[in-house]
Amino acid sequence: MVKRNVELAEEILRLKRQRNAIILAHNYQRGEVQDLADFIGDSLELSQIASKTGAEVIVFCGVHFMAETASILCPDKKVLLPDVDAGCPMANMITAESLMAKKKEFPDATVVCYINSSADVKAESDICCTSANAVAVIESLDTDKVLFVPDQYLGHYISTKIDKEMILWPGFCPTHIKIQAEDIVNRKAEHPGAKVIVHPECRPDVIALADEALSTGGMCRFAGRTDAKTIIVGTEVGIIYRLSKENPDKKFIAASPKAVCPNMKKITPEKVLWALQDLAPEVRVREEIRVRARRAVDKMLEVGEVDQEIASVS
């Protein structure tokens, strides 16, 4: 088995060079996929890397909207999603048609879409944001009324940090809602003195119990700088692999073992190999939609540098 894994990794490396490819992996990917990646990061970091890479092929180990965003930014590159069925259920909770109808109800609102959305929805939005720069993006707007789609919980969290009217789309992440306030209370009782970090896709009562609400990239930076030796992590459990690898002297406890994103787990080393062999499945956005979606993504990139993570809750 070990020999097979080594051979697989060697073949992936060989093909990667031959294809002039780069492998990007989101922080929630399986450990064995993270180990194959050139870069591991959150949605903002990975889209920034995609926008700058000189590689001709991007193998995106993440979910569909992430590969789509890379394709929006790099139309001349081939963007591969090793499992084309790896979608994001939250992104699927809104369509361009339903957003267009909502915009008619609130014609004076600026439309901000979370990056966890389809290219069609981005094309109907004024500006995009990720969990790492959401507050900075909305603060940068010169309007006081925002229609925020599709994550009601990230939207609610932002509304506690800024003084603007926020109209929230009722979407949510089915993985993050599995983390309950009770889980945080129980983990804190089991690990007195531990710090609690949660993703802003969590419910408000969970965020209220945390020391910090951070993007996944923000969590990785927090883990490196904190003096705490035990950290309770309220997000998808895949991130624990990276956190533990980068901080062997610290202990990371999943707030809930139920917080597993089945779509993120669809990518495997074998599928990465097949994607490089076949140069498929490719994700490409129709040019007419891409140009409009790109405006929203570019506006975000002008605002959001990696370190503009969401400020501490406490």
The contact set with ligand 13P (CB under 6 A) reads: 27, 42-43, 116, 130-131, 173, 199, 201, 215-216
Could you tell which of ligand 13P, ligand SF4, none binds residue 124, using a CB distance below 5 to 8 A set by kind? Answer: none
Residue 125 interacts with, from ligand 13P, ligand SF4, none (CB under 5-8 Å by kind): none
Q: How far is the CB of 304 from ligand SF4 (least distance, A)?
A: 18
**CB-wise, 12 or 81, nearer to ligand SF4?**
81
Quote the least distance from Cβ 77 to ligand 13P, whole Å. Answer: 21
Nearer to ligand SF4, 90 or 184 (CB): 90
Q: Cα–chain-centroid distance for residue 38?
A: 17
Residue among 139, 151, 169, 175 at smallest CA distance from 311: 139
The label of the residue with tokens 């809104």 reads 94
For residue 90 the two structure tokens come to: 């939250």
Q: In whole angstroms, what is the distance from residue 172 CA to residue 153 CA? A: 7
| 176, 180, 184, 187: CA torsion to nearest 10 | -100
For 296, the token pair is 């929203």
Report what 152 binds from ligand 13P, ligand SF4, none; CB cut-off 5-8 Å by kind.
Answer: none
Residue 199 CB, shortest distance to ligand SF4, in Å, is: 8
Give me the residues that bind ligand SF4 (CB under 6 A), please: 63, 88-90, 116, 173-176, 201, 236, 261, 263-264
* Residue closer to ligand SF4, measured from CB, 30 or 176: 176
Q: Which of residues 53 and 117 has its CB atom nearest to ligand 13P in the complex?
A: 117
| Residue 168 β-bridge partners | 148
Sort strands 165-168 and 145-149 into parallel, antiparallel or unpaired.
parallel
- Residue 288: is it exposed, middle or buried by C-beta count within 10 angstroms (0-12/13-18/19+)? exposed
Residue 194: contacted member of ligand 13P, ligand SF4, none (CB under 5 to 8 Å, by partner type) = none
Nearer to ligand 13P, 150 or 269 (CB): 150
Task: Pick one of ligand SF4, ligand 13P, none as the site partner of residue 256 (Cβ within 5 to 8 A by kind).
Answer: none
